[in-house]
Each structure stands twice: as C-alpha cells, then as structure tokens.
C-alpha cells in the first residue's frame, strides 16, 4: 500500500494499527484536516495599489511577490496623459511555494491623481470595490454556491509621496472615501529620498493627520495575552512603525558580497530587504506572513457585511415605495450583464423573485424590530 | 546626475523565487492560529433501538461521559411513548484544540409496537437545524460566526442479528441518507464470530446497494483520485462492527477498555477483536472535517435550494429544478 507522501496526510494512523496515543481521542488532528483541505484548494488574495504615477507601485508589487507582472507595460507620455481617465486594471498570477498555492490578483489604478483636476478621482475605485461586493452578494444569495469566486478587494496599499509634508488633500479625501469599504494600508513610497530623521518626522506627521481627519486605516488585531513574547514584541514594533516607509526594486545588485534586490546610487547601495534601510521587510511580513488571513477576515466580516446590510436596507425601502410590484426589474442597481445563455437569464429571474420574497420577510423583521 | 554606466553591476534581471522566498505558506499557520482560537464544533446523532449500546459507544468514542445517560438525573429507565430528541453539549479539549461536541440522542426510536414513520421526527429535527442556520444566514445583521447546530453525522446502530437489514433499518436509512451523513455500525458485535461478521457485512452491503442507499463516505462526493483511493478502502470495510465499553481491565500488564467475560476479555481498541478503532479514526482522526464539509456544502445547500425554490414553484405545479440541473427526489417541505 503506497500512501501519499503529503505532509498533511494522516491516513497513516488509519491503515497501520499502531496507536501510540492510546489516551487521546484524536481530534487534535482537526487543524491538520482543515489544513489539508486548504492546501488542496489553495488560497486567493486581491490586493489593490493606489497612488499617483511614478511612486513605485508596480516595482513594489514585483518586489513583494517576486513576480514580474508589469513587463509588457507601456507607459504613457505626457500628452497621452492629459486625456487619461482613472482606469482599473487587474493582473492575476498564481504563486506556489512549499506546496501552498496562492492566486494573487493585483488591482491597479492607473491615472489616479494624475490629472490637473482630480475631483472625485477615487470614484471609479469605489465603484469597482462596490461592484465586487455586489457580485459576491448575488453569488452568495444564489442557488448554486459551489464555486463562488471571491473577487473582493482584501487590501489597498495607498502610496503617499515622500516629497511633501504629510497628507495632501487628495490623500485625505481618497482614504476617507475608501476606509469603510476596504482595508487601507498607507505607505510612504520611494523612501530612499529621505534621511532617517525625515522619515520619522513624516511618519509622525502622517499618523497625526490620519487621527485628526478620522481616517480608519487597517488596524492590526490585538495580540492575545497568551502569545509568545517574541510574537508580542514583533507585533509592537510593527504597530509603532506605521505608516511603513518602503522602497522597491526590480534590479539585482551586489552588496556586501551578496546579490540582493536594491538600487544602486553613486553614494551607496540601497538594499530593499535591509531593515535598517526601509520597512519593506516589515510590510511584506505583515501583508503576507502574518496578517493576510486577518485582512481577508476583516474584509468579509466588516466591510462586506456593512455593504450587505446597507444594500438590503436600500432594497427594502425601495420596495416599500414601489408597493411591491411584481416586476423583479428595479430590485438591484445592476450594470447590464454580459451576454448570457437563456438558461442563465431564467435562473437569475428566479433568483430575483426569490430575493423579493426574502426582502419581504426582512422588511417584516425590521418592522418588528422597530416596534 | 551621477554616471550610472560606470558600475556594471546593476542589471535589469528578473529576480525569481529561487532568489528569495515570499512566505505565502505562512498563511497556513495564520489559519491554524485562528482555528485554534475559535475552536471547532461537531454534532453527532446516534440512532437505534434501546439497549444497543449507543450511550456507551459515544462515551467510548470521546473518552468522556458525554452521552445522555451520563447526564441524566435519576430517572427510571423507561421507553418513552414517542421518539424524543435529546441534545447534550460538552466542550472537550485536547492538545490545545477545543471542540464543542453535541451528542443528539433519539430515545424511543424503533421501540414502539408500531414503528411506522419513526424516522419522521428525526428528519424534522435535522431539517429544523438547517432551517435555523438558513435564517441566520439571510439575516441582515449577521453574526460573525454562526453557531452550527446542523447534524454532521448520524450513527445508525444495527442489531447483530447476523442475517440482513430489517425493514425498519432500510426505511430509516433510505429516508435519512438524503439529508445527513449516515454511518451505520453493527452494534454489540461481540456476539458475532468473525465469519458471521463478514457474512453479515456482505449482506448489509448488498441490501444497501439494492435499496440505493448512499452511506458515508458517498461515492459521488469523492473529490479526487487520492480521496477515492482512501474511501474505497473504507467502503470495503463498512459497516464497522463495534463494541463499546467504559470499563478498564488489566490485560497483559496494560490497562485497556474492554468487556470481561468468562471466556476472555474483549478489547475495544484491539482491531483483531472489533472495529471500534476504525470507526473512531474515521469519525474523528481523519474524516471529521470532511464530514462537516459534506454537511455544509452538500446537504445544507440542497436544503437551501429546496427551500428557496419552494417559494416559487412553476405555475403548473411542478417543482423547480435545482440550479445544477438535478431534479428533486421528493417534495419534502421543511415542516413535516
């Protein structure tokens, strides 16, 4: 009998009749069982990057995930940029490491903040995030829930330019428009143009302004009291270091006898992964190694639930106004769907009818709550 | 502007993964931490006539007094007039993993003179749990983590007659295998010799096949070749012939759970004596998560689709078809 040699296989216990752990019931293997399933299925993560052109967003993404997502990119010249609007582009890449598969989606926002008049330039971005929530809401309420695709944005890295003296009005407005829809992590980009003192001053300033303007950036969850000391220490350092001052690089340089990612200047070499040079490592560790799951959780449990509650309330109030018409059409503010087959259209119709019923029930629930 | 061309070192090279390590496998550790903090839930139902050893077996499985008998106040042992459903929860912990275990007992099942439709109260209970979960799910203000009271697994106790399944067994399993994972076991198997046991098992398997009863692990839910290989081995052995005991005896210098008789001691955890250990491994050590997954992603989803479709059957009275094209078996309302 050849057994699979997967790390997480525990069929060994089943097929060899050797019970070392006689005194145990054995459900301590549950985390491993869950593990095994997740390893098979793989994970997904959607990361959005936002900020003006030229702040090093693409470079940072490539440095974080050791990918080369932007190699075929064509940069617009100044003339072309005059007429550019804010776009949303998506790049998806599958990464596998030590048997764990991650489907990473990077949502980029070229054109953000680049125009002369940047009024409401975040609108396409908030619309995009809402669309993903809406899609998920429909899928979740639908009949066939086996393979729901989760395209919701789990995290938004916002790039603050290092040249100014803190947050600019567009930074504040952007973050306020998005802080209740997505986890925002503000970053100080291109930090290699700042001295350590300047970095500290800028960070303090930005932190102050974030608090003053009431911007709710992503908060790291509190450490449990029973966590190891090392973990608690790391956690504390992480919290005191925000916003992270980062540097990215697509090039490999030779420094101190090793090949590292870095930027070569006549006056020295900046090493991306050197913690005394910048906070790149902290960002990477936080984003990927310790808080990726929490980012997804907060998106699901807080941002998405807010959206859902809001959506349902809007729908029920519309229903009350329309006196419960039979037509399912005005229920959801849907964009025109793609070309679908007859069957799919019929299925959606049935879903809408059913949702109508559900909403009637909820409306009743809400009335009861009010009384 | 410095002359970068002087130093030939920097190259626009694609730095690949062999160079460094992103660390995405750390997400498994994050998940594990979260799962450990949250704890797990498992709901197991035991069904069978009085005296087949249901309570003892559950105590043996979880090595603690979790069954109804253990928690019962000093009532007289009586057969209830109708089937009762009694649900008892305990939180047990092992190696840092916390589990809220709920044992649902069904005293009175199959004990009456007329046992027609005795499966109905049980079916009703199971559907009521699905309904409760559904209501929580469609709430506007949802809880972060909905408490899962759905029955994950139903152990059905077959008396060791040695012949074949009885009509009540077939009735019950036929109806319930459509809504819950059923694990039939041959109870009190210490009355069967090994040959009788094998013969009985074979007959049972034939009967199940003839009546198209799909017990756990169901063939159609095998996800991939690896699962199939493992599950085929299990399917060749079920139903497990079990003996339960919560008393320890000294055997060969070791203290073991067993039943002591004049002609020898039956060791519960000895696989040459009975198959309790296999049952325990299946339910707890290897397939617990899979059992829960099948309940939530298949049985619960089926219930949900049925419920949602009930609200709009087609005008000609025909039941609607599931979104995945599977027609309904019977029109079972959630209120029975």
Inter-chain residue contact A95 with B284, CB threshold 8 Å: no
* pLDDT, tens only, B129-188: 999 999 988 888 888 788 899 999 999 999 988 888 888 899 999 999 999 999 999 998
What per-residue confidence (pLDDT) applies to B75? Answer: 52
Interface test with A, best of B286, B288, B328 (most A CBs within 10 A): B286
What per-residue confidence (pLDDT) applies to B267? Answer: 87
Integer angstrom CA distances of residue A335 from A131, B142, B282: 9, 27, 48
Half-sphere exposure of A302 toward its Cβ, with a 13 Å CA cutoff?
16
Q: Would you give per-residue pLDDT tens digits along chain A (371 residues)? A: 333 333 333 333 333 333 345 567 788 888 888 877 778 888 889 999 998 888 888 888 888 887 766 666 666 666 666 666 788 888 888 888 888 888 889 998 888 877 777 788 888 999 999 999 999 998 888 888 887 888 899 999 999 988 878 888 888 999 999 999 999 999 998 888 888 888 889 999 999 999 999 999 998 887 776 667 777 787 788 888 889 999 888 888 887 788 888 888 888 888 888 888 889 988 988 888 888 888 999 999 999 999 998 888 888 888 777 655 444 433 333 333 444 455 666 666 677 777 777 777 777 777 776 65
Residues of A in contact with B230 (CB under 8 A): 11, 14
Q: State yes or no: pLDDT of B49 exceeds 90.
A: no
B322: left (phi over 0), alpha (psi -120 to 50) or beta: beta
Residues of A in contact with B18 (CB under 8 A): none
- Who among A31, A250, A288 is closest to B22 (CB)? A288
- Residue ranges of the alpha helices (H) in chain A? 11-15, 30-41, 57-65, 78-82, 123-141, 169-178, 196-212, 229-240, 280-284, 292-298, 305-322, 342-370
**Any residues with CB less than 8 A from the CB of B82 and at least 6 apart, and which?**
B108, B121
**Any residues with CB less than 8 A from the CB of B32 and at least 6 apart, and which?**
A31, A34, A35
Residue of A nearest to B230 (CA): A11
Query: How far is B224 from chain A, CA to nearest CA, in Å?
Result: 10
Task: Give bridge partners of residue B43 from the DSSP assignment.
Answer: B102
Q: What is the mean pLDDT of residues B88-103?
A: 87
Angle at B266 between CA B262 and CA B271, to 5 degrees: 155
Q: Where are the domains of chain B?
A: 35-68+78-245+274-309
Cα(B150)–Cα(B183) distance, integer angstroms: 16
Angle at A307 between CA A210 and CA A341, to 5 degrees: 135
Full-model pTM: 0.75
Integer angstrom CA distances of residue B185 from B152, B158, B274: 16, 6, 11
Cα(B91)–Cα(B93) distance, integer angstroms: 7
**Of B307, B306, B312, B308, residue with least CA distance to B327:** B306
Q: Which domains does chain A have, with CATH numbers?
A: 34-48+56-69+81-108+123-140+148-318 (3.40.50.300)
**Of B26, B16, B18, B46, residue with least CA distance to B122:** B46
Cα(A245)–Cα(A9) distance, integer angstroms: 42
| DSSP element (H, E) containing A45 | strand A43-50
Cα(B276)–Cα(B255) distance, integer angstroms: 17
Indicate the Cα dihedral angle B63, B157, B117, B86, nearest 10°: -10
Give the SS3 label for residue A260: strand
B134 touches A at CB < 8 Å = no
What per-residue confidence (pLDDT) applies to A352? Answer: 73
Inter-chain residue contact A33 with B289, CB threshold 8 Å: yes
**Of B290, B301, B330, residue with least CA distance to B134:** B301
ipTM above 0.85, yes or no: no
CATH number of B35-68+78-245+274-309: 3.40.50.300
* pLDDT, tens only, B100-115: 999 998 888 888 888 8
B138 touches A at CB < 8 Å = yes
Residue of B nearest to A269 (CA): B10
Query: How far is B16 from chain A, CA to nearest CA, in Å?
Result: 6
Residue of B nearest to A284 (CA): B22
Query: How far is A119 from chain B, CA to nearest CA, in Å?
Result: 34
Interface test with A, best of B43, B93, B94, B318 (most A CBs within 10 A): B94
B231 touches A at CB < 8 Å = no
């Amino acid at each position: 009998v050849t057994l699979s040699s997967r790390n997480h296989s525990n069929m060994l216990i089943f097929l060899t009749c050797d019970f070392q752990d006689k005194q145990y019931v054995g459900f301590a293997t549950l985390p491993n069982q869950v593990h095994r399933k997740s390893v098979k299925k793989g994970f997904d993560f959607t990361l959005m990057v936002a900020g003006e052109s030229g702040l090093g967003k693409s470079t940072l993404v490539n440095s974080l995930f050791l990918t080369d997502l932007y190699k075929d990119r064509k940069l617009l010249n100044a003339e072309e940029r005059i007429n550019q609007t804010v776009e949303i582009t998506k790049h998806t890449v599958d990464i596998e490491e030590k048997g764990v598969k991650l489907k990473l989606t990077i949502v980029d926002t070229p054109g953000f903040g680049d125009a002369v008049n940047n009024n409401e330039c975040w609108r396409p971005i908030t619309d995009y995030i809402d669309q993903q929530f809406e899609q998920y809401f429909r899928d979740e309420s639908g009949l066939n829930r086996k393979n729901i695709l989760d395209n919701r944005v789990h995290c938004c890295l916002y790039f603050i330019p290092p040249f100014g003296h803190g947050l600019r009005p567009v930074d504040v407005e952007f973050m306020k428009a998005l802080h209740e829809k997505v986890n925002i992590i503000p970053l100080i980009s291109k930090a290699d143009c700042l001295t350590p003192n300047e970095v500290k001053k800028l960070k303090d300033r930005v932190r102050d302004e974030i608090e003053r303007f009431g911007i709710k950036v992503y908060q790291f969850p509190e450490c449990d009291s029973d966590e190891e000391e090392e973990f608690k220490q790391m956690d504390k350092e992480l919290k005191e270091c925000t916003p992270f001052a980062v540097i990215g690089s697509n090039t490999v340089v030779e420094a101190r006898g090793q090949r590292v990612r870095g930027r070569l200047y006549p006056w020295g070499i900046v090493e991306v992964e050197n913690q005394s040079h910048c906070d790149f490592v902290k960002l990477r560790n936080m984003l990927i190694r310790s808080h990726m799951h929490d980012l997804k959780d907060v998106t699901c449990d807080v941002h998405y639930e807010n959206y859902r509650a809001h959506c349902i309330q809007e729908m029920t109030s519309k229903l009350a106004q329309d006196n419960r018409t039979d037509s399912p059409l005005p229920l959801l503010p849907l964009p025109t769907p793609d070309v679908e087959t007859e069957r799919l259209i019929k299925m959606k119709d049935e879903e809408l009818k059913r949702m109508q019923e559900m909403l009637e029930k909820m409306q009743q629930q809400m009335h009861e709550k009010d009384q | 502007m410095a002359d970068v061309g002087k130093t030939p070192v920097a190259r626009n090279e694609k730095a690949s993964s062999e160079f460094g390590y992103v660390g995405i496998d750390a997400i498994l550790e994050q998940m594990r931490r979260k799962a450990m903090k949250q704890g797990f839930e498992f709901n197991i139902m035991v069904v069978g006539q009085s005296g087949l050893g249901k309570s003892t077996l559950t105590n043996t499985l979880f090595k603690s007094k979790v069954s109804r008998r253990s928690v019962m106040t000093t009532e007289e042992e009586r057969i209830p007039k109708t089937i009762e459903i009694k649900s008892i929860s305990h939180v047990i912990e092992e190696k840092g993993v916390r589990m809220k275990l709920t044992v649902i007992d069904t005293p009175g099942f199959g004990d009456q003179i007329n046992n027609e439709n005795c499966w109905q109260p049980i079916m009703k209970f199971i559907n009521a749990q699905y309904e409760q979960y559904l209501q929580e799910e469609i709430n506007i203000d949802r809880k972060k983590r909905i408490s899962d009271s759905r029955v994950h697994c139903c152990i059905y106790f077959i008396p060791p007659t040695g012949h074949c399944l009885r009509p009540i067994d077939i009735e019950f399993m036929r109806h319930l295998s459509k809504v819950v994972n059923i694990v039939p076991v041959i109870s009190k198997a210490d009355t069967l010799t090994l040959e009788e046991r094998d013969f009985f098992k074979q007959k049972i398997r034939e009967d199940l096949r003839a009546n198209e009863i799909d017990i756990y692990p169901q063939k159609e839910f095998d996800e991939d070749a690896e699962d199939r290989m493992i599950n085929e081995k299990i399917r060749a052995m079920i139903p497990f012939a079990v003996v339960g005991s919560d008393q320890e005896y000294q055997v060969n210098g070791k203290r073991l759970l067993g039943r002591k008789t004049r002609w020898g001691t039956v060791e519960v955890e000895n696989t040459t004596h009975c198959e309790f250990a296999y049952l325990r491994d299946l339910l707890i050590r290897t397939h617990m998560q899979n059992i829960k997954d099948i309940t939530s992603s298949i049985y619960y989803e089926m219930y949900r689709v049925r419920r949602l479709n009930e609200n709009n059957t087609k005008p000609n009275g025909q039941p609607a078809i599931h979104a995945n094209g599977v027609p309904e078996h019977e029109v079972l309302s959630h209120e029975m």
